Amino acid sequence: MDPLQEAIRCAINEMPVAVVRRPSKARESLVHIATDAQAFVEETRTAMAAGAGGPRTERRIVAGALLAYALDIAWSICHLLRTEPVRTHIVVLTLWRPLLETWLRAAFFALEATEEEISAFRTAGTLPKRGWPSRPEVKTEITPRLIAKLIAPLICPQQPGLLDSLADEVKDWHGFVHGGDVVVDLFDGGDTLQSQVGPDHMAFKVQRVAVIALLTGLVGLNLSTGERQPEELDPLGAGLREKILAFQSRWPRPSEKSDAAP
């Protein structure tokens, strides 16, 4: 899983709160980056379809539907930035939260949930209740942070904490989804009321959207484990990891930035 951990690490190395911190500057235009990211989302969808297999089960239905939805959100983000940059910057930032939440839930139902939990969600919309690893006896409704704790050992066992930062972001994007004061701040340009979020910030967001697409594909391929042979699934996952690392090469690595600093 080292290549996957490297992909996650590259994506979350800089963790801006909302959009106030200046991200690394990409080496290409936002429109070009969004176009390539959208193509990667489609390649992920193709890999998942190629790796699909096995009988129709509630786990595959629930997790598969959420994974497909996550890819649709990722595709839409890229499409908006590719076709209507600037005008859609704030909208794209708003879509980041449902993308992240949807992927986390999909991963939980694919990798961690019991058959009873999946059935309750499928038939009644009931979210599972689990205990934190430190207090397993106290059951609470699953949250993004709790899901991250539960699935991280399965996705990145060498560095399970990598998912914590992503899960922690969900609350930071609450104001975007519900029309909070952060939206007013980001539209207030003094003489104008339009997005004040620059292309570097959005290019950085597209990078992270692409990584969520990667994780979506890997979880989707995992659903076929046991029904398809490793020699069929492993090349599909490896291909996605190679493509995401190539995509991320547009941004300078942390060592490059420190070397360039005065």
Query: What confidence tens digit (pLDDT) does each residue in 202-247 have?
Result: 888 898 899 899 999 999 999 998 888 889 999 999 999 899 888 8
- Radius of gyration (C-alpha) of the chain in whole angstroms: 19
Whether residue 47 has pLDDT greater than 90: yes
- The token pair that represents 61 in the structure block: 């239905």
Predicted TM-score (pTM) of the model is: 0.86
User: For residue 237, what are its two tokens?
Assistant: 């996952």
pLDDT at position 65 is 97
Question: Span 121-130, mean pLDDT?
Answer: 94
Give the confidence band of 109 by pLDDT, cuts at 50, 70, 90: very high
Over residues 137-159, the pLDDT tens digits come to 999 999 999 999 999 888 877 77
Domain boundaries, the chain: 2-251
Residue 253 confidence (pLDDT) above 80? no
| Six-digit token string for 201 | 């910030």
**130 has pLDDT over 70:** yes
Give me 213's structure tokens.
């697409």
